[in-house]
Structure 1
Amino acid sequence: VRAEHVISEKDSIQTCPLDFYPSLAEGNLSPGDSHESQRASALRAAFSAFVKAREVPAGAAGAVWWRCCRQTFRERGGIHRHVGTQHGAELRPPPRGHGHGHGHGQGQGEAHRGAAGRERGAEVCDELPDTRHLGPGELESKAGEVLLYYCYCEVRDPEKLCAWQKALCEHLHLTGKVRVASEGINGTVGGSKAATSLYIEVMLSQPLFKDILCQDDFKRSAGGAHCFPDLRVGVFKEIVPMGIDPKKVSYKETGIHLSPQEFHREVEQYLSQASQGQSDTILLDCRNFYESKIGHFQGCLAPDIRKFSYFPSYVDENLELFKNKRVLMYCTGGIRCERGSAYLRSKAVCKEVYQLKGGIHKYLEEFPDGFYRGKLFVFDDRFSICSNEDVISACRYCGTLWDQYKLCSSQHCRQLVLTCPSCRKKGLTACCPVCQEKELEATSGASGQTLKEECECTKRRPRVPVEHISTGAQSNSLPGA
């Protein structure tokens, strides 16, 4: 930003970064041009009104933060940059001869209409990108990456969006999983770097996502189309399966988003206070037990649940645990925290609820040697991606440090098992002795009955665990975390 125009008001000082608006530069703004001066005034007034309308009370008396596009900004500079880069088109004053004399009212009206348009949902553009400029084999290259992203927005026609997504992924030779709903889209896809780059470019230009998604919303990791067995695109009620009607608990009621830097500072402070028995904070892992088992933040509380759809019941059964607490939530890429924090906030028991923007994925990009230990679990054939050299989990059978998952060898079972190479050589490839016996029965033909998906692993784990509440500051932490 090369220049700033400051508007002084009695209650608030708003800074309007005019260089964020190309329309003003194109207008050749000069001190002697009364028309352009009026346009600049209209822009500053619209900018001020737009920012003012997004103020929310902060923790301290009389202090304010700002909420916009499902994000919470704690610094004025942050909301200014966001509005300037993401909402410039809505605030652009009209050209000469089109009502430029009504600066404040016109600019504010356009801002509200633009916001209302996003709330109603834009139409889906079903065009496919031109790939003729790509060289032979660029789309089919095995060397590539995996993308993880989501976007909450109102989708008028989920079926049309679903059909376009399927055609787009097939056109770019991408595999993976994409969930579409009236509340948005959630996807993880893999392919060549040429394909994934083009996919991001097309998604950012899609009218439905154009003013919401940005480059930083796509989390990248080494991989490719081979990381998924196929392509699955479908329409669902929720883009992340929490099992609660989105109309009852909306993503619009999320907790306060913290950048990786802000989250890092919060965790650092939490660990320092917890070591002295003075913390009023809970560092909450929103993922499933098998995810947190191989990697988690130091000092976290990781619920022993198998599915995210059990999370609401976990909160209900443990409300006393969260009473009058500050909660720092995190998950893989941020999407589970969107609905999870909204559900926790709906219970009105916590002091404050915060969530890690971009999830562990984004945190590790900036703090590979930070407070996260172990590997990051991913829902594809890789099962995990490396973050550091720490191994925090052990072989199911011998206890040797081991963190590479395999599917249980029993055909009826869908559990994951940590079994080291040595134990696998001994034939210990099932998730537990019960499954090992069932596998032997199936392979020997001793039983003609269809075997159910039940084993020692699931029987001994309560569906919704109740945490032991203690006055100790770290009583809710993972053992050894």
Structure 2
Amino acid sequence: MAALHNRVSQKELKERLYQETDPRTTISFYRYFPIADPRLFRDELYSALAALKVFGRIYVAREGINAQISVPQPNFEPLRVLLEGIAGLERLRLNIAVDDDGKSFWVLKIKVRDKIVADGIEDAGFDMNRKGKYVDAVEFNRLTDDPNTVVVDMRNHYEYEVGHFDGAIEVPSDTFRDQLPMSAEMLGAEKDKTIIMYCTGGIRCEKASAYLLHRGFSNVFHLEGGIIHYANSVREQGLENKFRGKNFVFDNRMGERISEEVIAQCHQCGAPADTHTNCRNEGCHLLFIQCAACAEKYEGCCSVACQEAIHLPEEEQRMRRKGVAKGVHAFNKARSRTRKKAPGR
């Protein structure tokens, strides 16, 4: 039986990726559907995808599947046939990356989770089968021309900062579980209006639409396939593009350009910029926006202190890293939480 986990070093895997001759396509997909035995489902899926040389990150739970992957182009159709042959994944929509270099992933990881999107919902009466209506790109553009339509961004601040739809409301939180109740409170006075929720690929806004219906809202929609599907539809159908800037993605690319506008600023000098990077200091890894000039000036670091740290002896760097939390650490100047000083200051 094939191994069900990767046993090769990250360095070697990256080298193998760049030695490949077949170009890769980056894909995302999800589906809310019941999985009776997530562990068995995970193991069988791992074997099948590994045989097709699929890389990426996939979460499996009793409520469904959430995947961001890349596949060699010759294996794209076999992959589609494989996925649609799985009970519950019939007619699965595959979101093809908009701005893709094929280097998004270099290893396959499939993890079993309690939920495919951590939502904090504990109400037994919540039902994902009762969700908002889909809107495609054409309908989205038509509805958003109406002043009685409210557009809600269900992504994190650092995603919203580099790109969003015209007039979209930001729900100012860094976790989806906090955004759900917050969105219901923020929209309390808008219950009679048309509400359209959106996210990167559709998985968060689909659940958010079900949550608002659960909270008593009635006219709720969510953007089919999220920003990725919208951008592809706009390009293919020659529609007006109402998305401004860049779409943040959770892979090695960290973003795909949807429009030529740069709506964000470098967190160090304030110049127009929308390139996310992780601080080069292994003891920090802050996610922040950095322009090319500051990347050179600070050597890929978020601050002078971190820049000094990367030049310390490796042993001293390791000692400093002991006990440092490894969770998501993102710069968010829109929030009043206590954080480290603004990068570069």
- TM-score normalised according to structure 1 size: 0.59
Match for residue 259 of structure 1 among 136, 139, 145? 136
**Structure 2, gaps ≥5 residues long:** 1-16, 338-345
1:309 aligns with 2:177: yes
Spell out, residue by residue over 1:344-368, the C-alpha distance to the aligned partner (whole angstroms, 9 max, x if none). Answer: 22211x3511111111111111224
Q: CA RMSD in A?
A: 2.9
Match in the other structure for 2:114: 237
- Largest Rg, 1 or 2: 1
Match in the other structure for 1:336: 204
Q: Give the Å deviation of 1:413.
A: 3.0
Match in the other structure for 2:63: 183
Q: What fraction of aligned residue pairs are identical, expressed as a percent?
A: 27
What SS is found at the alignment partner of 2:28? strand
Residues 250 and 339 in structure 1, CA contact (< 8 A), matched pair in contact too = no
Letter of the 1:232 counterpart: K
Q: Give the Å deviation of 1:417.
A: 1.6
CA distance in 1, matches of 2:21, 2:86: 25
Letter of the 1:177 counterpart: R
Match in the other structure for 1:195: 75
Q: Where in structure 2 are the equivalents of 1:76-115 lying within 5 Å?
A: none
Q: Give the Å deviation of 1:461.
A: 2.5
Residues 441 and 447 in structure 1, CA contact (< 8 A), matched pair in contact too = no
Q: 1:303 to 1:413 in 2, by over 3 A?
A: farther
Spell out, residue by residue over 1:56-81, the C-alpha distance to the aligned partner (whole angstroms, 9 max, x if none). Answer: xxxxxxxxxxxxxxxxxxxxxxxxxx
Q: Where in structure 2 are the equivalents of 1:370-389 lying within 5 Å?
A: 370-389=241-260
Match in the other structure for 1:417: 288
1:362 aligns with 2:236: no
CA distance in 2, matches of 1:447, 1:382: 27
1:299 aligns with 2:167: yes
Q: Give the Å deviation of 1:241.
A: 2.1
CA distance in 2, matches of 1:302, 1:257: 20
Match for residue 286 of structure 1 among 148, 154, 172? 154
Q: Give the Å deviation of 1:176.
A: 0.4
Q: 1:195 to 1:227 in 2, by over 3 A?
A: same
Letter of the 2:335 counterpart: R
Residues 22 and 73 in structure 2, CA contact (< 8 A), matched pair in contact too = no
1:171 aligns with 2:51: yes
Letter of the 2:177 counterpart: S
Match for residue 461 of structure 1 among 335, 341, 344? 335
CA distance in 1, matches of 2:56, 2:265: 29
What SS is found at the alignment partner of 2:35? coil
Residues 158 and 332 in structure 2, CA contact (< 8 A), matched pair in contact too = no
- TM-score normalised according to structure 2 size: 0.80
Match for residue 85 of structure 2 among 192, 200, 205? 205
Residues 295 and 392 in structure 1, CA contact (< 8 A), matched pair in contact too = yes
Q: 1:410 to 1:249 in 2, by over 3 A?
A: farther
Spell out, residue by residue over 1:71-117, the C-alpha distance to the aligned partner (whole angstroms, 9 max, x if none). Answer: xxxxxxxxxxxxxxxxxxxxxxxxxxxxxxxxxxxxxxxxxxxxxxx
Residues 59 and 113 in structure 2, CA contact (< 8 A), matched pair in contact too = yes
CA distance in 2, matches of 1:343, 1:356: 15
CA distance in 1, matches of 2:123, 2:49: 27
CA distance in 1, matches of 2:222, 2:330: 34
Letter of the 1:257 counterpart: Y
1:156 aligns with 2:36: yes
1:393 aligns with 2:273: no
Q: 1:356 to 1:162 in 2, by over 3 A?
A: same
Larger deviation, residues 413-422 vs 146-155: 413-422
1:352 aligns with 2:223: no
What SS is found at the alignment partner of 1:315? helix
Q: Give the Å deviation of 1:225.
A: 6.0
Residues 39 and 112 in structure 2, CA contact (< 8 A), matched pair in contact too = yes
Match in the other structure for 1:406: 277
CA distance in 2, matches of 1:306, 1:300: 17
Spell out, residue by residue over 1:177-207, the C-alpha distance to the aligned partner (whole angstroms, 9 max, x if none). Answer: 1111112111111021112321111111223
Q: 1:380 to 1:155 in 2, by over 3 A?
A: same
**Structure 1, gaps ≥5 residues long:** 1-136, 274-278, 464-481
